[in-house]
């Protein structure tokens, strides 16, 4: 059994590699974006920033993350057949996002391509294939293997696609998605490190640890360039990659069919899920399509109520830390207790959102526009 200090010493190098690579690659991405005209042009609606901002930040994140993951395979820290599908899937999702950043591909084509890539990764790794069993077995319900596997695969596909969408939607203010997913990845690393201390899985522990620490290093290295006032945006190439990592890690925590760790991971990832759910409920109450874009997310409403961009982002960081801390409580409680903690936090969050008027449809606030981000 390794100590936490030994695990930190062993895996910190992959995080440092991702951090250093992102720090040096991001200025190159800024230059390339200006040279080739890959800029996010403001429209004062969904894009209220004051001037065109370079994209391609997600490419810097992806290259740095891939470098750290590849070094983990090259050094024998992770078995290549366990990590390679995740590496290829992450790069593929990032490239898909980059194409959308530059060419604006059809949402249906993007969804289809993303679904196929994620499905291929799930089949290759069998990640999340015991999700349904882990929930039903404690209840004394046993499904045929083919049905449980199929249901688990579909549920896993939904979780990863949902995570990609959630991190994309929360990427609405300078440094918001970067910092929030950085906190989430740190929470995932601490959860994975706890499992590794007790030898949860000789092959699965290194994969979880490397994915989490590489994502943490890449987001930390990108944050100085992306924090308000942002010099570069990550675009879909970055947000989708981070969502893919988060979704896959949630499934990988269910490797042995113990639901407690999946519940903890879902709690750590709660803020992006809360923002997405809140946006969909509000649009539905307003009689609009739940998939229609707007500037009235949770973080937008904080700005509309008088907080500055930076204050809003820092509030979201604090909320992400609180959710991550609650998620890590699963280390100390039993499965049923973890389930009730998760359910209780969800209900309390929903009640607070309702009581503070966050669920109020957008129409009554239609004339309130989000102020442009600072130069």
What's the pLDDT score for residue 324?
Answer: 97
What's the pLDDT score for residue 9?
Answer: 92
3-state SS, one letter per residue, for 214-234? HHHHHHHHHHHHHCCCCCCCC
Q: Compare 283 and 240 and report the one with higher pLDDT.
A: 240
287: left (phi over 0), alpha (psi -120 to 50) or beta: left
| Tokens standing for residue 193 | 């490190």
Label residue 317 exposed, middle or buried (CB < 10 Å: 0-12, 13-18, 19+): middle
What's the pLDDT score for residue 50?
Answer: 60
Collapsing DSSP to helix, strand or coil, 202 comes out as: coil
Residue with tokens 């942002």: 230
What's the pLDDT score for residue 374?
Answer: 40
Band (pLDDT 50/70/90 cuts) for residue 44 is low
Q: Which of 279, 237, 253, 296 is nearest to 114 (CA)?
A: 237
For 304-318, write each residue's pLDDT tens digit. 888 999 999 999 999
DSSP state of 370: P
Report d(CA 257, CA 259) in Å as an integer.
6
Please work out, in degrees rounded to the nearest 5, the angle formed at the alpha carbon of residue 180 by the alpha carbons of 175 and 183. Answer: 125
What's the pLDDT score for residue 363?
Answer: 53
Q: Compare 288 and 304 and report the one with higher pLDDT.
A: 304
DSSP annotation string for 270-307: HHHHHHHHHHHHHHHHTTS-TT---S-SHHHHHHHTT-
Q: Lowest mean pLDDT of 180-184, 223-227, 296-300, 351-355, name the range.
A: 296-300
Q: What percentage of the chain has pLDDT greater than the value 70?
A: 92
Q: What is the mean pLDDT of the chain?
A: 89
Average pLDDT value for residue range 224-247: 94
Is the pLDDT score of 249 beyond 70? Answer: yes
Is the pLDDT score of 369 beyond 70? Answer: no
Residue with tokens 């089949």: 123
Average pLDDT value for residue range 215-234: 95
What pairs with residue 40 in β-bridges?
Answer: 53
Is the pLDDT score of 48 beyond 80? Answer: no
For 155-207, write each residue's pLDDT tens digit. 999 999 999 999 999 998 999 999 999 999 999 999 999 999 999 888 899 99
Q: Which of 343, 370, 177 is nearest to 263 (CA)?
A: 343
Collapsing DSSP to helix, strand or coil, 58 comes out as: helix
Top-confidence range, 102-106, 129-133, 251-255, 323-327 = 323-327
Q: Lowest mean pLDDT of 133-142, 187-196, 220-229, name the range.
A: 133-142
Q: How far is CA 334 from the centre of its chain?
A: 26
What's the pLDDT score for residue 370?
Answer: 46
DSSP state of 230: P
Average pLDDT value for residue range 289-295: 70
For 81-97, write each residue's pLDDT tens digit. 999 999 999 999 999 99
Report d(CA 168, CA 177) in Å as an integer.
8
297: left (phi over 0), alpha (psi -120 to 50) or beta: beta
Q: Lowest mean pLDDT of 28-42, 259-273, 337-351, name the range.
A: 28-42
Band (pLDDT 50/70/90 cuts) for residue 297 is confident
């Amino acid at each position: 059994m390794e100590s936490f200090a030994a695990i930190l010493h062993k895996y910190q190098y992959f995080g440092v590699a991702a951090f250093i690579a992102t720090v040096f690659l991001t200025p190159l991405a800024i230059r390339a974006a200006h040279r080739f005209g890959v800029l996010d042009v403001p429209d004062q609606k969904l894009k209220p920033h004051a001037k065109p901002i370079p994209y391609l930040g997600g490419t810097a994140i992806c290259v740095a993350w891939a470098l750290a993951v590849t070094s983990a395979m090259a050094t024998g820290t992770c078995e290549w057949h366990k990590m390679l599908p995740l590496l290829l899937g992450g790069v593929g999702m990032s490239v898909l996002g980059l194409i959308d950043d530059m060419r604006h591909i059809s949402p249906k084509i993007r969804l289809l391509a993303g679904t196929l890539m994620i499905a291929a990764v799930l089949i290759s790794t069998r990640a999340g294939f015991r999700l349904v069993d882990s929930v039903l077995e404690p209840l004394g319900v046993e499904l045929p293997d083919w049905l449980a596997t199929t249901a688990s695969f579909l549920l896993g596909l939904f979780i990863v696609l949902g995570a990609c969408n959630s991190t994309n939607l929360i990427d609405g203010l300078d440094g918001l998605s970067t910092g929030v997913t950085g906190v989430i990845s740190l929470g995932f690393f601490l959860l994975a490190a706890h499992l590794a201390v007790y030898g949860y899985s000789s092959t699965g522990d290194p994969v979880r640890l490397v994915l989490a620490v590489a994502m943490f290093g890449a987001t930390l290295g990108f944050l100085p360039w992306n924090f308000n006032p942002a010099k570069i945006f990550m675009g879909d190439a970055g947000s989708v990659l981070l969502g893919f990592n988060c979704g896959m890690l949630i499934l990988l925590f269910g490797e042995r069919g113990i639901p407690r760790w999946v519940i903890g991971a879902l709690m750590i990832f709660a803020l992006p899920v809360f923002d997405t759910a809140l946006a969909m409920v509000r649009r539905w109450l307003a009689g609009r399509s739940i998939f229609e874009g707007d500037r009235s997310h949770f973080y937008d409403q904080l700005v509309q109520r008088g907080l500055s961009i930076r204050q809003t982002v820092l509030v979201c960081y604090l909320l992400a830390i609180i959710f991550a801390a609650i998620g890590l409580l699963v280390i100390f409680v039993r499965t049923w207790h973890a389930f009730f903690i998760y359910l209780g936090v969800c209900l309390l969050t929903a009640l607070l959102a309702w009581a503070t008027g966050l669920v109020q449809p957008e129409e009554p606030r239609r004339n309130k526009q989000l102020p442009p981000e600072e130069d």
